């Protein structure tokens, strides 16, 4: 039997998407005095992506599978749950933009969506920032690099390629940021800092970056973490300023930096496909440049 007083959240996609899903659900749980339950049973993601929230300081109420709503693999039970409107109430995101109805939902709902806007959790920023910080201890290399970043005029710069380039469907939806975007963003950060910045560059294709990105500032390409993307997340958030790609991962790398003095530069066009437009994905205090 499904218990009440819980917010169930379907978790899927890359780590950045998982973090948005957690943040929306956790904020709703805090508003309603409920527990959050992360449902990863039918996890789906792109190549190389896997559940990663366990590396962060998340809250997650563990419940037996029998207390979760039926998955699509349980065809008859799933149809009865959806068809009869049984609890928890199924809530699917309608469109990419912020929906004020979501933050007013009661407890005992099952959320399915991307929820890519801080407006879904803006009233609990401090709690979300703490809970989505990395808890897994860094290895020696990353601990040394973290300490280096902390004493350096460091700015993170993220270049997302991967399936955005290789998959025609992903490319049509997302597109990629141009080299001119990164050059202009780096120049803006340098002017704002009033000193020579050091850009720590993160990418899923560091070799391409080394061959193609040319900035008139020192660049240090971070290429050693591979599948340990949570390590890159921690390093990115330790930088003073940020240049993000049209990527939820670098969005979080910038957002997790709590400094009110940070400058975050984001692409003006987040999606190549106009039908996927999300007017609420970039926070109001970030600077948007043509990408």
Residue 291: the pLDDT is 76
Residue 252 has pLDDT above 60, yes or no: yes
Residue 65: the pLDDT is 85
Indicate the pLDDT class of residue 213, thresholds 50, 70 and 90: very high
Percent helix, strand and coil across the chain, each to the nearest 5? 40, 15, 45
Instruction: Tell me how far apart the alpha carbons of residues 148 and 99 are, in angstroms, rounded to a whole number.
Output: 41
- Over the stretch 28-63, which tens digit does the pLDDT of each residue have? 999 999 999 999 988 877 776 788 999 999 999 989
- Beta-strand runs (E) in the chain: 6-10, 35-39, 89-92, 109-112, 154-159, 198-203, 218-222, 241-243, 264-267, 287-289
Sheet of 6-10: strands edge to edge? 35-39, 6-10, 109-112, 89-92
Indicate the pLDDT class of residue 3, thresholds 50, 70 and 90: very low
Residue 231: the pLDDT is 98
Give the angle 100-15-126 at the CA atoms, nearest 5°. Answer: 55
Average pLDDT over residues 241-251: 97
Phi, psi at 83, each rounded to 5°:
-70, -35
Which two three-digit tokens encode residue 19?
């973090």
- Assess contact for 245 and 210: CB atoms under 8 A: no
Indicate the pLDDT class of residue 97, thresholds 50, 70 and 90: very high
- Over the stretch 113-163, which tens digit does the pLDDT of each residue have? 999 999 999 999 999 999 999 999 999 999 999 999 999 999 999 999 989
- Over the stretch 155-183, which tens digit does the pLDDT of each residue have? 999 999 989 998 899 899 999 999 999 99
What percentage of the chain exceeds 90 in pLDDT? 89
Residues 6+ positions from 148 with CB-CB distance below 8 Å: none
Sheet of 287-289: strands edge to edge? 218-222, 198-203, 154-159, 241-243, 264-267, 287-289
Average pLDDT over residues 224-252: 97
What percentage of the chain exceeds 70 in pLDDT? 98
Residue 158: the pLDDT is 98
Indicate the pLDDT class of residue 4, thresholds 50, 70 and 90: low
Residues 6+ positions from 206 with CB-CB distance below 8 Å: 221, 222, 223
Residue 236 CA to chain centroid, in angstroms? Answer: 13
Q: Is 275 exposed, middle or buried (0-12, 13-18, 19+ CB in 10 A)?
A: exposed
Indicate the pLDDT class of residue 281, thresholds 50, 70 and 90: very high
Average pLDDT over residues 202-213: 97
Give the angle 273-278-279 at the CA atoms, nearest 5°. Answer: 125
Residue 44: the pLDDT is 77
Phi, psi at 166, each rounded to 5°:
-80, -25
Residue 230: the pLDDT is 97
Average pLDDT over residues 226-238: 96
């Amino acid at each position: 039997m499904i218990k009440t007083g819980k917010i169930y959240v379907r978790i899927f996609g890359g780590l950045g998407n998982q973090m948005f899903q957690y943040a929306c659900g956790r904020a709703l749980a805090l508003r309603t005095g409920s527990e959050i339950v992360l449902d990863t049973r039918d996890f789906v993601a792109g190549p190389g992506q896997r559940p990663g929230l366990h590396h962060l300081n998340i809250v997650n109420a563990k419940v037996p599978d029998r207390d979760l709503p039926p998955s699509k693999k349980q065809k008859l039970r799933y149809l009865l749950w959806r068809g009869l409107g049984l609890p928890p109430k199924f809530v699917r995101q309608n469109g990419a933009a912020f929906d004020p109805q979501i933050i007013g939902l009661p407890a005992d709902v099952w959320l399915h969506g991307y929820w890519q806007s801080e407006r879904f959790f803006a009233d609990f920023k401090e709690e979300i920032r703490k809970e989505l910080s990395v808890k897994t201890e860094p290895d020696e290399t990353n601990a040394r690099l973290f300490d280096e970043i902390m004493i350096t005029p460091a700015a993170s710069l993220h270049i997302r390629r991967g399936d955005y380039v290789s998959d025609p469907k992903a490319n049509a939806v997302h597109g990629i940021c141009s080299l001119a975007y990164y050059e202009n963003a780096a120049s803006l950060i340098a002017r704002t800092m009033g000193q020579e910045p050091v850009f720590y560059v993160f990418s899923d294709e560091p070799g391409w970056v080394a061959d193609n990105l040319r900035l008139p500032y020192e660049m240090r390409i971070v290429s050693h973490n591979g599948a340990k993307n949570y390590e890159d997340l921690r390093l990115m958030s330790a930088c003073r300023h940020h240049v993000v790609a049209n990527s939820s991962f670098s969005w979080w790398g910038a957002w997790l930096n709590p400094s009110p003095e940070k400058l975050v530069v984001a692409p003006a066009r987040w999606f190549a496909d106009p039908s996927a437009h999300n007017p609420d994905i970039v926070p109001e205090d970030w600077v948007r440049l043509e990408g």
